[in-house]
Structure 1
Amino acid sequence: MSLSPHTRPLNAEDAAHFLRRTAFGATDEQIRALVGKDARTIAREALTFSTEAAPDNPFNPAQGATPGAMIQLTRGQWLYELLYSPQPLREKLALTWSNHFVIGTDKVRNQPSLAAYLALLRQHAATDRFEAFTLAVAQSPAMLRYLDNDQNRRGKPNENFSRELLELFTTGIGHYTEDDVREGARALSGWTFTGGRGNQRYLEAAQFVFNPRQHDAGQKTYLGRSGRLGGEDVVHLAANHPQTATFVSRKLHRAFVNDTPDTQAVAGSAETWRRTSGNVRAVLEELLSSAVFYAPTHRASIIRSPVEFLAGAVRSLGSPRLGPKQLLNLAQTAGKMGQLLLLPDTVKGWDGGREWINDTTLLTRMQVAASLTLGGNAPKLETAPTPLALLGRETPLPGTERLNDRQRTYLTLISPEFQLA
């Protein structure tokens, strides 16, 4: 069965919960603006995106004097969007998809390729056709380079992308065979790109091309289908495999509901996925307005990632403007806490959950909180954030009532309650 809806109008804590999950965080005013509204309506509105960027972004990666400088500017540019975009759910989903369709700047060091990859994540953030999203990523120079399909040719197949297409992007482990991986690689042979190779051409645009001379046009059998299959065929079969609905729905539940998703709830989203032929927008609209999403047992059940911690803190403080140097430092600090944008630990992405938290990363979170509240360069706050903005509830942390605004805000940002969304 599909997920049951949340039927009552939102109260203040419901609204705070919604914005903590979909916008990283929000001010008291932004939260109270949703009170009394219908859950389905606000989910639908939040999922209505445009291509609008946050105004006054100070970073232009094309101005990077070296590949390394370009990558740093790319991270700074994205972090600015995460902190200040007027469409935070789009950025939250882009961050989520970057941990699904993983690429890394250890291999992808080309500015147009990175920009195009991020543009795809935003364009398809709430796609109505997961297959189209998967195909667009598969043909992106960033993915072709990262998983070596540009080296995949007839007689010398490279299986890296073919394997991850199944293991990490669609069906998950246990629903394909090694023969499927080999046959998929044959079908994907000849998919490559031109331009943008090498450290001297890091600003040159790369372009997907199909090279028929490198393609294996022979008979293949893949996921039970036989014929002269090509790359589009294997993407279609993998993206529409019945198990893909469950595999990707579970990731969406991890991102928005609970670090340990409920199997029955995931099955409900998977049913909607199959019924709508992979309409991610429909799955998300139902999920973000469901009784499961708003259930008390699923609140404060997701450990914020380093980037989500940064975005949540800044947005809860009212989005004070930080300088370019501060933003670049924060992007690097996120890496020290375990989440360097565009460079996940492995091809399977960041594990998340309890893996985000250890003695070192907690200390770094405390240092970040201090820099935003107590330090000499801490942003000036027009209004102190309320407990509703910081904690999702009306009452402050016990023992903080007599502290000044900055001390109370600092202690709240380092509290276990704030680390959870």
Structure 2
Amino acid sequence: MSLQPHTRKLTPEDAAHFLRRTAFGATDAQIRALVGRDAREVAREALSFGMDLAPGNPFDPTQGTRPGAAAQLARGAWLYEMLYGPHPLRERLALTWSNHFVIGTDKVKNAPMLTGYLALLRRHAATTDFAAFALDVARHPAMLRYLDNDQNRKGKPNENFSRELLELFTTGLGTPAQPNYTEQDVHEGARALTGWTYEGGRGNKNFLEEPRFVSRPNLHDTGSKTYLGQSGNLSGEDIVRIAATRPQTAAFVSRKLHRAFVADTPDEGAVAASAETWRRTNGNVRAVLEELLSSEVFYTRRAAIIRSPVEFVVGAVRTLGQPRLDAKQMLNLVQTASKMGQLLLQPDTVKGWDGGREWINDSALLTRMQLAAALTLGAKAPTLEKPPTALALLGTERSPLQAALDGLNPKQRTYLTLISPEFQLA
């Protein structure tokens, strides 16, 4: 079973929809460049991104004078890449994975840890091997620190990472009638993960020092273990691979991808089809995404995702033609997104931001209105070469707001469109 492909050539509204979902937003010219093309080809091309970054990034976390300042510079650097980088889908995926393999600056205060973790998410953004991705995450000092596996040792197992590996990163909980794992699996997994830690970069005074993963054999439990039905002298590598390749993982992570790219409330039949592709390709996320982003369900589920604060911020700037903002303005945007409920590199809990309707409340909506005003009507609003079209702003050439916007100047029309419900949805 596979997802039904979108077989028609892309219309302007199809192209706008694709870029709203995969690139935060786009200009009319960027949208028109995709019109008439094959959906599978467009998806494949978007997923063929490199690791190059936007030139001229003004933020360098290693220039921070204290841990908090370095973390804020890391956020600024990431936002700059989302706003101006050459690979918006890579950044969109990195944002998705940051809400899956969660770490947070409340505990991870080392600058190289943060930048290295973002580099890992980018490198695996459209991975062909989810198990390898999960293993790289498990051994990264940022994750070792955040979920305390650096304290996990023989005779005194720390079960924090072992539990979240199953509950949040791979299989999911399952149901009370059919759980996907047991407490004994958590315990045995923790035993297998003993001895994984890191050297360097500990303490606030060493927040700029580069840490490195180490495995300490003298702290590792070499005894026999039984984990998710498999027994033996299992290592940390073994249990990450076992968890990452479970059939339940295919469905659990596929549902996350559908929530990120198709709908806040996914169609379970479509999720099952993506999970089947996942299993057939042995965890090839790139293959799952290529099929998903060129499917009929992707193109028919319009206005089904409430844009997160970061997606709203980046989508507005990209739709406006990526006007150049100074460093202070970009740091203000980081804080504005935080005020709306999404601080980069600091999800609310280890399970990440809930998203969906949780993004919307009176305070958040007011802040969105204030941001839209600052970008369009404010004294320091960026100068635009030309106002964005209805196609760029709303994904349709025939604006449902046209009657309400008649008689207004371009700045006023753009402002009112940015605060409309239609722009809040992707």
Report TM bin, short chain. over 0.9
Match of 2:410 among 399, 405, 408: 405
In 2, distance between residues paired with 1:149 and 1:332?
31
2:386 aligned residue: 383
CA deviation after TM superposition for structure 1 residue 322, in Å:
0.5
1:393 aligned residue: 396
Secondary structure of 1:226's counterpart equals strand
Give unpaired runs (5+ residues) of structure 2.
Answer: 174-178
Secondary structure of 1:136's counterpart equals helix
In 1, distance between residues paired with 2:6 and 2:99?
28
2:217 aligned residue: 212
Match of 1:262 among 255, 258, 267: 267
Pair 1:25-2:1 in alignment? no
1:348 aligned residue: 351
Partner amino acid for 2:206?
R
Match of 1:233 among 204, 223, 238: 238
In 1, distance between residues paired with 2:42 and 2:338?
33
Partner amino acid for 1:403?
L
Partner amino acid for 1:197?
R
Partner amino acid for 1:165?
L
1:99 aligned residue: 99
Partner amino acid for 1:10?
L
CA deviation after TM superposition for structure 1 residue 56, in Å:
1.0
1:302 aligned residue: 305
In 2, distance between residues paired with 1:82 and 1:109?
22
In 2, distance between residues paired with 1:308 and 1:336?
14
Matches within 5 A, 1:14-413: 14-173=14-173, 174-295=179-300, 298-396=301-399, 397=401, 398-413=403-418
Deviations 1:282-330 (A, max 9, x none): 00000000011011xx100000000000010000000001110000011
In 1, distance between residues paired with 2:420 and 2:299?
22
Secondary structure of 1:209's counterpart equals strand
In 2, distance between residues paired with 1:384 and 1:194?
52
Partner amino acid for 2:76?
G
Secondary structure of 2:162's counterpart equals helix
In 2, distance between residues paired with 1:403 and 1:87?
35
In 2, distance between residues paired with 1:335 and 1:266?
31
Secondary structure of 2:198's counterpart equals strand
In 1, distance between residues paired with 2:268 and 2:245?
21
Secondary structure of 2:214's counterpart equals strand
In 1, distance between residues paired with 2:19 and 2:196?
41
In 1, distance between residues paired with 2:36 and 2:262?
22
In 2, distance between residues paired with 1:55 and 1:33?
24
Partner amino acid for 2:205?
Q
In 2, distance between residues paired with 1:399 and 1:322?
30
CA deviation after TM superposition for structure 1 residue 224, in Å:
0.1
In 2, distance between residues paired with 1:42 and 1:310?
25
In 1, distance between residues paired with 2:398 and 2:209?
54
Deviations 1:178-205 (A, max 9, x none): 0000000000000000000000000000
CA deviation after TM superposition for structure 1 residue 401, in Å:
2.2
Deviations 1:345-367 (A, max 9, x none): 00000000000000000000000
CA deviation after TM superposition for structure 1 residue 4, in Å:
1.0
CA deviation after TM superposition for structure 1 residue 65, in Å:
0.7
CA deviation after TM superposition for structure 1 residue 86, in Å:
1.1
Deviations 1:52-99 (A, max 9, x none): 101111111100011111011000000001111110000000000000
Secondary structure of 1:156's counterpart equals coil
Secondary structure of 1:251's counterpart equals helix
Secondary structure of 1:399's counterpart equals helix
In 2, distance between residues paired with 1:54 and 1:259?
30
Partner amino acid for 2:377?
L
Deviations 1:134-176 (A, max 9, x none): 0000000000000000000000000000000000000000200
Deviations 1:355-382 (A, max 9, x none): 0000000000000000000000000000
CA deviation after TM superposition for structure 1 residue 218, in Å:
0.3
Partner amino acid for 2:248?
Q
Q: Across the two proteins, how many residue pairs are aligned to each other?
A: 419
In 2, distance between residues paired with 1:222 and 1:105?
31
CA deviation after TM superposition for structure 1 residue 395, in Å:
2.0
